[in-house]
Structure 1
Amino acid sequence: MFGRRNYNDDEDEQPPLLQTSNLVLTGTVWTALAHFIAGVIGSGVLSLAWSMAQLGWIGGPFCVVLIAFFALVSAFLISNFQIYSNPNNGTTTTNHSYLQAVHTILGYKNGIVCGCLVFFSLFKTGVVYVITSAICMRAIRQSNCYHEEGHEAACEYENVYYMLMFGLVQIVVSQIPNIFHTKWLSIIAAIMSFTYSLIGVGLGLAQVIGQGEIKGNISGISTKNPTQKLWLVAEAIGDIAFSFTFSLILLEIQSTLKSPPSQKETMKKTSGIAVFITASFYLLCGASGYAAFGDSAPGNLLTGFGFYEPYWLVDFGNACIVLHLVGGYQIYSQTLFAIVERWYVEKFPESVLTVDITSLKVSSLSPAFRVNPLRLCFRTAYVVLTIAVAMLFPYFNEVLAFAGSIIFWPLTIYFPVEMYFVHKKIVPWSSKWVVLRIYSTFCLTVSVFILIGSLHGLIAKRFG
């Protein structure tokens, strides 16, 4: 599954993310930052006002900063693992993906466990993006309806049709061969991220100024049932954790960077900038929304209709979210596509399914891409499956929290720490070993707490 072959064909014909030595690497801090922003500042930012409302003015910002710090530590650790020299046999391996790094450094069994979590993480991100894009497209129609018929009008529409529309677009866009060809898509998505985040901040601040007061309190929303408050806090932390899960795409992005300077140093610089920008935007969006609405902060800032006017700006913000999610879906999906298709090419090198049958031009900004049966069938089936699951569980905040609880600790904390121990030959019970063990155990405890709370929320919504 993790083997490699040499390909002498041109760039478009190579299996995804194999032999980058055959490519002219042109990635810089700015292109890597575009990939990061497109992949990180996504649907999670829309839930942060609601998360702040559950945690309050102290707990909310503290959790954002703390989880951002954890994500940055993880990014710094992972950036060291692209080149690994095995002390047992003297071989040196270049790891082009997170999963390959775990397999190479921690061994086959850890690779299998990590593989299952990676597939789940990438898949759940696709599901969340389908849910969010459908909600945003529906919100545009609702916004126009409220503007024309009044805020009390019955402007309710089903998400199903919008999920199908998003899926049709993704079936076409998914034929882009690999992440090397998505730079233009990432740049557009990153611009959209900034745009709708600023719209959300602007609308929140405008409402605060208009109402002449800052809503919210130190302890967050109060409930008559303390247990219910506990579950809401768990969901809120899970939503924030989901918003910082970018560890899976880091080595994929690092593999696109030119050298010199070293790819590792460029990635560490990019990670620092990306986490700072992301945390700042999250704090601004969460704080402005909470200040505007207090305990009634909507679960999705731009689609919960705390804001009705100006309706055209709400429409534009939601349109930017949809455009961003088209690119964000691809940033994560291309990683999964690469893993599966790389395995298939290695397992069945003579298969007729990998023979090109036609070409496809996704946009005027990109070249024509050759299409083969494997890519067409597998990627189409994947998109259809994400749509089906999104239709079954269309619950924005609960799905975010559940996704964050499942993958935050193992993929952002545990595997990077364990790989660091092996890579740097950290001696057990040394000061660094003890600190990292305490750090990992603490994050595991938080993840279990989030999991229980998010499952409670999902079950209550689905069967309550």
Structure 2
Amino acid sequence: MEEVDGQVIQFVECESGLDIHKVVREDLDDDGRPKRTGTMWTASAHIITAVIGSGVLSLAWAVAQLGWVAGVASLLTYGCITFYTSNLLAECYRSPGTGKRNYTYMEAVKDNLGGKMNFACGMAQYANLNGLVVGYTVTAAISMVAIEKSNCFHRRGHEASCEVSHKPYMIGLGLFEIVLSQIPNIEQVWWLSIMASIMSFGYSSIGAGLAFAIMLSAGIGVGHGKRTTVTGVEVGPGLTAARKMWRMFTALGDIAIAYSYSPVLIEVQDTLSSSKPEIKVMKKANMISVAATTVFYMMCGCLGYAAFGNSAPGNMLIGFGFYEPFWLIDLANIFIVLHLVGAYQVMAQPVFCKVESLCRRKWPKSEFVNREYPIKIGRRNLNFSINLFRLVWRTMYVVVATGLALALPFFNDLLALIGAVSFWPLTVYFPITMYISRKKINRATIRWFMLQFVNLLSLLIALAAACGSIEGLGEALRIIK
């Protein structure tokens, strides 16, 4: 039992943060770690929190660039592709021969494809996760500023100059995330994910509802007095053919990236209880999450385009596609902030755990890295403990992320490029390649050709999105200069 105890003590500091002596007395899973308690619903909440961001409110703009046919087709196609490749990735949680668990995406890739692919996966995954954390800080601050601006416009009129600085809001959000970052692992933020997923449904519903109301008031199909077309925004005096092409590339990338949650899928699956086969539970969670996501994306994208036509704003709430009722706009932006607070933790937790695991292996005898200090209030010990390394490292991480958000006001344009570059390998290439390897699918078979077709199509869209993002980043830099 000494060996098992040592294993529990080694893992518990990153995986649970509970009182070590208490964990040793708890039931353990087949790998010696504390028993997992996640369910289909908590997994669905984690996924929805990760996948539905405030970018859902920009889908009306994306549909406007593509038009009714390509816009709707893109939303449906990428919903199907994401669901399919996510199920392929979920099958890689356990090794095919031994049944050993792969705790992270990188471990799954290493187990199935080898060390070189593992390194490439890690570069893409952690660039994506770290980029999203900074991007969420920027976007949450923009929503908080939008609340102040909305109230200003309500008091002083829509033409008033209501300039507000983002910096105090970014700093305040960073301080709050420092506190939340002390939650030891992704399994213990289940309540935050449920709250965040409810918030995402809240602001998506408000945006779609307001768009529907405008569409009805102006007459169905007239686009709030603006033109809607089968092919989207039309080339004319204010839009060159080249500029329209770049916008279409960006819109395709926005839609594809909006569905991506593969960087945290394996980590979410590792929270599931083993009372039922994890693969079956995870596939159900994938189905629920992707179906719910697609419904809300269709609502916001299509209703927003129907309401605003080819002049659809980049964000229906933050971009002031609506001014009234101002209190409802404020409520939606509050929902966005609360959602991003939770999404920040879902994306940051795999980064936290990876660094802490590496440090424990490098300094196994260091009290600073390994020792847990149970929290005591009065005569009672709380079922929680503080680790000094976790406290210092996670605080530094949040400070750096907040600093980048303050220093790079155009970071969301850079994030679009990071997302475009990492989308294809993480969401499509690795899941398909691992599946082919596991199932030993022969080349030149129909199945192999179909999988490679999806792979190639996604690669082309990712390249187009990357080109559009580079062009958008260049434009943002020109504006700043």
Question: TM-score normalised to the size of structure 2?
Answer: 0.89
Q: Is the CA contact (8 Å cut-off) linking 2:55 and 2:258 kept in structure 1?
A: yes
SS of equivalent residue, structure 2 residue 7: coil
Cα offset, 1:233, TM superposition: 0.8
Q: Secondary structure at the match of 2:100?
A: strand
Please tell me whether residue 50 in structure 1 is matched to residue 61 in structure 2.
yes
Are the equivalent residues in 2 in contact too, given 1:133–1:321 (CA < 8 A)?
Answer: yes
Q: Which whole-Å deviations, capped at 9, do the CAs of 1:3-22 have from their partners, x for residues lacking one?
A: x9953349964546997643
Name the stretch that deviates more: 213-222 or 106-115. Answer: 213-222
The separation in 2 between residues aligned to 1:238 and 1:24, in whole angstroms, is: 39
Identity among equivalent pairs (%) = 42
Aligned to 2:269: 254
Aligned to 2:338: 323
Which structure 1 residue ranges, 5 or more long, are not aligned? 362-366
Is 1:163 equivalent to 2:170 in the alignment? yes
CA apart distance, 1:41: 1.1
Residue 433 of structure 1: which of 448, 465, 468 is its match? Answer: 448
Q: Is 1:221–2:237 an aligned residue pair?
A: no
**Matched letter for residue 63 of structure 1:** S
Compute the displacement of 1:158 (Å). 2.0
Deviation readout 1:305-341 (Å, 9 max, x if unpaired): 1111111110010001101111111011101111221
Q: Distance in 2 between the 1:377 and 1:294 partners?
A: 50
CA-CA distance at 1:449 after TM superposition: 1.1
The offset of 1:428, in angstroms, is: 2.3
For residues 160 and 117 of structure 2, what CA distance do their matches in structure 1 show?
54
The alpha-carbon distance between structure 1 residues 113 and 423, as it changes in their structure 2 partners (threshold 3 A), is: same
Deviations 1:342-379 (A, max 9, x none): 12212221223324475679xxxxx6642223212222
- 2:22 aligns with none
Per the alignment, residue 124 of structure 2 pairs with 117
Root-mean-square deviation (CA, aligned residues, Å) is 2.3
How many residues are paired up? 452
Gaps of at least 5 residues in structure 2 are 18-27, 377-381
Check the 8 A contact 2:45/2:194 in 1, yes or no: yes
Quick one: which of 31, 34, 53 aligns to 1:23?
A: 34
Question: Computing the radius of gyration over CA atoms, which structure comes out larger, 1 or 2?
Answer: 2
Distance 1:328 1:197, change over 3 A: same
1:395-443 CA deviation, whole Å, 9 max, x = no partner?
4763453233111101011111111121112222222222212221221
TM-fit CA distance, 1:33: 1.1
Compared CA separation, residues 38 and 151, structure 1 to 2 (3 A): same
Q: 2:146 aligns with which of 129, 139, 149?
A: 139
1:71 matched to 2:78? The reply is no
Segment of structure 1 superposing worse, 379-388 or 198-207: 379-388
- Specify the code of the residue in structure 2 equivalent to 1:40: V
* Correspondences of 1:176-325 after superposition (within 5 Å): 176-214=183-221, 215=223, 216-223=228-235, 224-325=239-340
Tell me the TM-score normalized by structure 1: 0.92
Alignment partner of 1:61 is 2:68: no
Moved more, 61-70 or 397-406: 397-406
What is the CA distance between 1:93 and its match in structure 2?
A: 2.5
Q: Which deviations, in whole Å up to 9, do the C-alpha atoms of 1:257-291 show, x marking residues without a partner?
A: 22343110111111011101101100101112111
Alignment partner of 2:112 out of 101, 105, 108: 105
CA displacement 1:160-205 (0-9 Å, x = unmatched): 2221121111111111100121111111111111111111111111
Asked if the contact 1:204–1:289 (Cα under 8 Å) also holds between the matched residues in 2, the reply is: yes
Question: SS state of the match for residue 95, structure 2?
Answer: strand
Contact 1:128 1:399 in 2 (8 A): no
Structure 2 counterpart SS, 1:84: coil
